[in-house]
Amino acid sequence: MGISTGTNIKRGDIIEFKRRGFVSAVLGWLLKRIEKDYDGYGWHTAIAWQPAPQGWYILEAIQHGVTLNWYTEENIFNHSRVWTWLKEEPDPVVMSSLLPKYLYKKYDVAIYFWTAVAVIFRHYFNRPIPKLLDNRFDCWELIQEFTMDMEDPILSRYDVIIITDLVKALNERKGTVMP
């Protein structure tokens, strides 16, 4: 469990990409004001899906939908933190059978509104809000659904997930504070 370094990334690992860009900087800054434990490092997440020469195919939800993109190992390790959540590396056959469930699904734009509402309700009313089930994913929801499918949920699929939820769960499973 914990953060992977060097070339020991495994199939099914969660990749937390370093925050880049104006929008994620502003949103991350705002979230840090409310969620004091959030270190502000990451914003975008993905799943290490399939090793490839000099890199990995990464399953990620981006503005055009859920896609499988190739990244060099150098890019992954220089611009992200790689977390091991699953207790065992998933079987490639199981991963292949899940791919059609995610691939080419539309990006969940509405989740930005619901995330803001969830943060407000959690912070000011100490209440979570339920997630509306749909067949769209943002990058955090993709991680949420994948871990459910792997029978090791990071958070219930019925809760609106926020990057702070992911980082907190990953830290708790690791058992120490990240560098």
In-domain check, residue 147? yes
Helices 139-149 and 163-174: crossing angle in degrees, nearest 10, is 40
Place of tokens 């120490």: 176
Q: For residue 6, what pLDDT is reported? A: 44
Please give the tally of structural domains in the chain: 1
In-domain check, residue 72? yes
- Select the more confidently predicted residue: 126 or 93: 93
- The pTM of the full predicted model, rounded to 2 decimals, is 0.84
Closest CA relative to residue 159, chosen from 141, 142, 138? 141
Query: What would the pLDDT profile of 89-100 be if each residue is shown by its tens digit?
Result: 999 999 999 999
In-domain check, residue 100? yes
φ/ψ of residue 19, rounded to 5: -60, 130
Q: For residue 160, what pLDDT is reported? A: 80
Q: In what side-by-side order are the strands of the sheet with 2-4?
A: 2-4, 80-84, 14-18, 42-52, 55-62, 65-72
In-domain check, residue 84? yes
> For residue 21, is pLDDT > 90?
no
Distance CA 166, CA 139 (A): 11
3-state secondary structure 33-58: HHCCCCCCCEEEEEEEEEEECCEEEE
Residue 32: CB partners within 8 Å, gap ≥ 6? 38, 40
Closest CA relative to residue 122, chosen from 156, 177, 162? 162
> For residue 176, is pLDDT > 50?
no
Query: What would the pLDDT profile of 31-89 be if each residue is shown by its tens digit?
Result: 787 777 888 888 899 999 999 998 999 999 998 899 999 999 888 888 899 999 999 99
In-domain check, residue 157? yes
In-domain check, residue 35? yes
Q: For residue 144, what pLDDT is reported? A: 92
**Helix, strand or coil for residue 3?**
strand
Task: Report whether 108 contacts 145 (CB < 8 A).
Answer: no
In-domain check, residue 179? no
Query: What would the pLDDT profile of 139-175 be if each residue is shown by its tens digit?
Result: 988 999 999 999 999 988 778 888 888 888 998 887 4
For 177, the token pair is: 């504070």
Give Cα 6 distance to the centre of its chain.
Answer: 20
CB-hemisphere CA count at 13 Å for 159?
Answer: 17
Distance CA 162, CA 108 (A): 13
Domain that includes residue 54, residue range: 2-174
CATH number at residue 64: 3.90.1720
